[in-house]
Chain A
């Protein structure tokens, strides 16, 4: 009886490739005890309450306050290691270049609000929310709080958006669905 053909990667009369050599790790320990060069990266636990969130009655607040004061006055403890990560010692990452804190200006007067409403009611296509916000130097949210477009304008806008959505192919529709799902997962803390 003939033997069944077997898929042989290396014919038996030939030598297979050599086994890969064991990787050479840099020696991280001296003597018998290993030295941890850096701590493993891990997300901070939400059960570690930040100093600012401790209520005044909490004893941890007093304990950390004294160390904070020591650090700020330069009276560093001699025995303790100096790699403490108290907020006063740690570098705080810089803000982005275009970072700006929105400051409410409260510059729109009552008459201007009436004018804004009149413009929006007269021609909602020309006087869109964006243009009104530019004209009166306020936020778009403020414009939307002040004015309400007519029902036919809202219906027109809805139709326009649905026409755009109808042109989307399956890939784009799926991508937008996935984005919604990711947002839900993010707000649940599951992402």
Chain B
């Protein structure tokens, strides 16, 4: 078996794209080159869909090659070819943009990352459809890097999280709303409308044009479309199996381009809900991708750690239970503990209007949880919830994650503790 050269994956992103000749020689309605990303069709969808490209294999191969060709010398200058204004600012203007330099310095980016790359990260596919000049490729690399580090850190730190909480926590760390917040905190402003004349340091996107949504995760199973059609696969196992993004959602399947765009029933599901958040999040992912491509794996890991995984997310607020007392009883039976018993620790004002009862849940002589409540049953339920949260939120502390072994002088991997699964009651 031939060894995979991981360092060469996506190396085409490092190619300098300073001449817009290639893009001018191509029609503007070119499709994107990443098969894992999905174009959201919108009202102005004039572009051929990805599936159509894949079915015509003869035209697909040269298209892919041509996308990553270096611009050759001696080609006609952009001015002679230019029929109209460029969709996004010329890359040569990036060096003279004060906003870009400020953003580069504010993020303490390495000098290995050119400002042209940062300028490219600020161009959303809705502003410039050409894949060599927008951030779709970089954002895809960045999203995979971000999802990998976020998921491995969550599973290693909280090995007993239920699947739904894990999905929600992934969304809390790496979802669009969180990345939108990060982009706002980085001080990124968006241009009123994309165009050649805007400052390259502004985020450029157009909410009315088709864009790229980074929500694919591996590949989409063929049954996903069927399950969408028949509204199956909505349970948690369905989300695990059919969920096509790291948050257990299969929204991407809704936007698969085999639906007819002009069908009024499907158009609504294919519209992007929050275009500014998507554009900001894609910019953040593209910056991660740029750090990963230009500075390497360690730098991108540090970048993700310091900007995303260091954010505070209180996991104990994400839980919602249905029958906590029964779930706790099932847990104790599964783990061969004594059956849980509720005991009244203390109480005050039993005959008053506002009594307080403090109930502890014991298994044998060990206390599992404790909670106050306005009546005995509420206190018992709250104490069971606290005991279950204490079980699910067990953390072994600072443990090593699999990506730690990528280092040269890393110690051999010691398997991390991961629980057998959540409690079924």
Q: Which residues on A are within 8 Å of B, measured CB to CB?
A: 43-44, 46-55, 57-58, 87-88, 92-96, 99, 101, 182, 186-189, 191
The verdict on B122 contacting chain A, using a C-beta distance below 8 Å, is no
Q: Is B345 within 8 A of A93, CB to CB?
A: yes
Which residues of A are found within 8 Å of B341, using beta-carbon distances?
A: 95, 99, 101
Query: Min CB distance, A116 to chain B, in Å?
Result: 25
Q: Given A54-B394, A93-B343, does the pair A187, B381 have CB atoms closer than 8 Å?
A: yes
Which residues of A are found within 8 Å of B316, using beta-carbon distances?
A: 46-47, 189
Q: Which residues on B are within 8 Å of A, measured CB to CB?
A: 316-317, 319-322, 324, 337, 339, 341, 343-345, 360, 362-372, 378, 381-382, 385-387, 389-391, 393-396, 417, 419
Q: Is A188 within 8 A of B320, CB to CB?
A: yes
Which residues of B are found within 8 Å of A101, using beta-carbon distances?
A: 339, 341
Q: Given A46-B386, A50-B366, does the pair A58, B396 have CB atoms closer than 8 Å?
A: yes
For A186, give its contact among B368, B378, B387 (CB under 8 Å).
B378
Which residues of B are found within 8 Å of A48, using beta-carbon distances?
A: 390
Q: Is A44 within 8 A of B320, CB to CB?
A: no
Q: Is B395 within 8 A of A95, CB to CB?
A: no
Instruction: Give 17 new A-B contacts, CB below 8 A, not counting A52-B337, A187-B324, A187-B381.
Output: A47-B390, A49-B395, A50-B369, A50-B390, A52-B363, A54-B394, A55-B419, A57-B417, A87-B366, A88-B365, A93-B344, A93-B345, A95-B341, A96-B344, A182-B378, A186-B382, A191-B382
Q: Report Cα–Cα, A103/B337, bound state, in Å.
A: 17
For A187, give its contact among B321, B387, B396 (CB under 8 Å).
B321
Q: Is A55 within 8 A of B320, CB to CB?
A: no
Query: Min CB distance, B42 to chain A, in Å?
Result: 36
Task: Return the chain B residue nearest A99 by Cβ.
Answer: B341
Q: What are 27 pairs between A and B in contact, CB < 8 Å?
A: A43-B370, A44-B370, A47-B316, A47-B390, A47-B393, A47-B395, A48-B390, A49-B393, A49-B395, A51-B366, A52-B337, A52-B366, A57-B396, A58-B396, A87-B366, A93-B343, A93-B345, A101-B339, A101-B341, A182-B378, A186-B378, A186-B381, A188-B320, A189-B316, A189-B319, A189-B320, A189-B382
For A53, give its contact among B370, B371, B385, B391 (CB under 8 Å).
B391
Which residues of A are found within 8 Å of B368, using beta-carbon distances?
A: 50, 52-53
Most chain A beta-carbon neighbours within 10 Å: one of B360, B363, B365, B390: B390
Which residues of B are found within 8 Å of A52, using beta-carbon distances?
A: 337, 363-364, 366, 368
Q: Report Cα–Cα, A46/B389, bound state, in Å.
A: 6
Query: Min CB distance, A175 to chain B, in Å?
Result: 14
Q: Is B385 within 8 A of A49, CB to CB?
A: no
Which residues of A are found within 8 Å of B389, using beta-carbon distances?
A: 46, 189
Query: Min CB distance, B336 to chain A, in Å?
Result: 11
Query: Min CB distance, B417 to chain A, in Å?
Result: 5
Which residues of A are found within 8 Å of B417, using beta-carbon distances?
A: 55, 57-58
Task: Return the chain B residue nearest A184 by Cβ.
Answer: B320
Which residues of B are found within 8 Å of A187, using beta-carbon distances?
A: 320-322, 324, 381, 385
Q: Report Cα–Cα, A92/B391, bound state, in Å.
A: 21
Q: Is A53 within 8 A of B390, CB to CB?
A: yes
Which residues of B are found within 8 Å of A55, using beta-carbon distances?
A: 394, 417, 419
Q: Report Cα–Cα, A99/B342, bound state, in Å.
A: 10
Q: Report Cα–Cα, A48/B369, bound state, in Å.
A: 10
Task: Return the chain A residue nearest B320 by Cβ.
Answer: A188
Which residues of B are found within 8 Å of A47, using beta-carbon distances?
A: 316, 390, 393, 395
Q: Is B378 within 8 A of A191, CB to CB?
A: yes
Q: Report Cα–Cα, A65/B339, bound state, in Å.
A: 21
Q: Report Cα–Cα, A101/B342, bound state, in Å.
A: 11
Query: Min CB distance, A6 to chain B, in Å?
Result: 42
Which residues of A are found within 8 Å of B395, using beta-carbon distances?
A: 47, 49
Query: Min CB distance, A181 to chain B, in Å?
Result: 13
Q: Is A43 within 8 A of B371, CB to CB?
A: yes
Which residues of B are found within 8 Å of A95, using beta-carbon distances?
A: 341, 343
Which residues of A are found within 8 Å of B362, using beta-carbon distances?
A: 92
Task: Return the chain B residue nearest A96 by Cβ.
Answer: B344
Q: Report Cα–Cα, A96/B345, bound state, in Å.
A: 11
Query: Min CB distance, A138 to chain B, in Å?
Result: 19
Query: Min CB distance, A24 to chain B, in Å?
Result: 27
Most chain B beta-carbon neighbours within 10 Å: one of A49, A53, A96: A53
Which residues of A are found within 8 Å of B372, using beta-carbon distances?
A: 43
Q: Is A49 within 8 A of B390, CB to CB?
A: yes
Q: Report Cα–Cα, A188/B388, bound state, in Å.
A: 12
Q: Report Cα–Cα, A32/B283, bound state, in Å.
A: 56
